[in-house]
Structure 1
Amino acid sequence: MKASKIICIAMGAMLAATAAQAEETTIVSNVLGPEGPLYVDGNLYYVGWVSNTLSKWDGKTATVLNHTEGCGHNGLALTKDKTFLLACTEEHGAIMELDLTGKQLRRWDADKDGKPFAGGINDIVVTAKGGAYATVFGPYKDVPTAVVGKIVYLAPGSEKWVEVPNDLNYANGIGVAPDQKTLYVSETVGNCILKFTINADGSLGQRSNFALLNVLTRTKNDSWWLGPDSMKIDHQGNLYVAQWSGGRILKISPEGKLLHVFAIAGGDGTTNVAFGPGEKDLYVSVVKDPKDPKARGSIVKIPNVQ
């Protein structure tokens, strides 16, 4: 179904949470467009959207597993079959399925109706049943006026992506609650996080506001692009949201309350976050300077706060 458009207003409640500079360790440096960290079986996987690469860090060495020119590697999700779904964020947009060695298994360039993923695929999340949701972003302009973002859904066992909600203001990070009943999505330009109820067939129902980031915490600058990027959700349902141009990770409760602010020393362009074993550590992908056309950055590790 297609949900009607609403204006994002503040629904999150502010707590007395202050930015805390955690002990920060640089794991991998000199990444061009760091994104999509995932910790799988003792290895850290991550992508570079400028370098068009998927890489693996095994604790000692970083190895490039996939290089697909023109993809703009971005969001990364692990399927139930132990393969990756990879978002291609370049303007034409695509979704690739790769094995753990980086070999391409299949590729989608359009939805079931033949509509291309114009604006680029930004992020992907896999559900407990094996379905997947992906966000379509929008044109990356200095002044982002187009509101063309949407979400597409791949049902378990299906080979076709279908459009669900549209009219999203630069749809970016996406996550599913542990009970599989709620889907969250970032609207980067709106500086907002929305939530949807998930119907039994995977379609999305009620659409509502979840959090407005500049209400939860003071804004760092007045950029159009100051807003939520990718996210991960822990076993308790708390959201860990990277704030592009904010240089931080926000931990937000399922009720929309700000629990903690992780200030990231590695740069202002925080893009994504992943959990280490037992959710004790966070791996954060971060660009030093969001205005750098090469998006030079790193993957850093910080301790989580329970």
Structure 2
Amino acid sequence: MAKAAKAQKMKEKTLLLPTRWLKTACCSLVLSMLPAAALWADTPTSAQTPDSEIFVAAGVFHPEIEGPAVDAQGYVYAVNFGGDNTAAKGSIGKITPEGDARHFLQLPKGSVGNGIRLDQQGRFYIADYTGHNIWRYNGNSLSLYLHQPLMFQPNDLAITEQGVLFASDPDWKNNSGQIWRIEQAGSSTLLEKNMGTTNGIEVSPDQRFLYVNESRQRKVWRYQLDNKLNVSNKTLLIQFPDHGLDGMRCDQQGNLYIARYGKGTIAKISPEGKLLREYQLHGQFPTNVTFSNDFKALYITMQKDGAVERLKLQ
């Protein structure tokens, strides 16, 4: 009787196995049909949900879109307008405050723009990285402001209240770079060489500091500026552990907003070098940023997408 009872119990246990497996399979099937948000309800949404919005759709600009700037009327400008074609390179697009874009300006043949800045008179300064030039556009005509054959590739620009420019000048091939000061008369001074791949560059709102970042080294440097705009007391403001750095701008409080290329975020850094926040973007490759005139929005050019995103800050 003991053997028979044991055999019967083993039979019942064997018969239960398919039922348990079926329950497990059914649960897996139900879970697979749930929305992703339900499956990851306890996961922070900041990594998945962009803080920005699409301002200009993908493909309106060339994939190498760069150099945003805003004029006094709130129009946004960026280089390489017109989609993914060779003719788009060397152009500049103009975007209305509502996000409608059109062709605005064409650089001379062989020139391709990168950083754009406007002075207090509304004149445009455009870094031409293929021609080693800085172009100036006064609203009617385009003129050569500076040709400097010793530049590797004039990239981003910063501008002071007096109209003096600073230019980053990376040598991507050798992972190095330098920075220049460009006077109002169009002369240039090499401020430092043998740096990392210099890229984003900005002057603090109080005109006391110059910030320069190095893309591949992921460092942001701060220099003191004197009354003659000479640089001194170079200090490391912050270094990131991963991903590249690209364009950057200061807000009214002196915080830096830095495009983190490859990470798809904008980092907000205090004047003391503290990471205050990272804003998530739709795209992965932000190249540069600019503020609206009231500093309530940040416009971001997105490489590979050929798009412009807008981040509302207030």
> What is the TM-score with the length of structure 1 in the denominator?
0.78
Larger radius of gyration: 2
State how 1:1-306 maps to structure 2 within 5 Å.
21-30=50-59, 31-32=61-62, 33-40=64-71, 41-48=73-80, 51-58=89-96, 59=98, 60-90=100-130, 92-100=131-139, 103-110=141-148, 115-117=149-151, 119-139=152-172, 141=173, 145-147=174-176, 149-155=177-183, 157-214=184-241, 219=242, 226-265=243-282, 267-288=283-304, 296-304=305-313
Displacement of 1:43: 1.0
- Per the alignment, in what secondary structure is the counterpart of residue 117 of structure 2? strand
**AA partner of residue 120 (structure 1):** Q
Aligned-partner Cα distance in 2 for 1:131–1:100: 19
CA contact (8 A) 1:192 1:227 kept: no
**AA partner of residue 139 (structure 2):** L
Kindly indicate which of the two structures has a greater share of residues assigned to helix: 2
**AA partner of residue 278 (structure 1):** D
- Residues 45-83 of structure 1, C-alpha deviations (whole Å, 9 max, x = no match): 111297111111123342232233322210001112211
- Per the alignment, in what secondary structure is the counterpart of residue 121 of structure 1? coil
- Per the alignment, in what secondary structure is the counterpart of residue 29 of structure 1? coil
Aligned-partner Cα distance in 1 for 2:284–2:52: 17
- Residues 154-183 of structure 1, C-alpha deviations (whole Å, 9 max, x = no match): 23x433011111111111110011111110
Displacement of 1:125: 0.9
- Per the alignment, in what secondary structure is the counterpart of residue 308 of structure 2? strand
CA contact (8 A) 1:53 1:68 kept: no
How much identity, in percent, do the aligned residues show?
26
- Per the alignment, in what secondary structure is the counterpart of residue 116 of structure 1? coil
Q: Aligned pair count?
A: 257
CA contact (8 A) 2:219 2:240 kept: yes
Unaligned 5+ segments in structure 2 are 1-45, 82-87
The structure whose RCO (Cα within 8 Å, separation 6+) is larger is 1
**AA partner of residue 99 (structure 1):** N
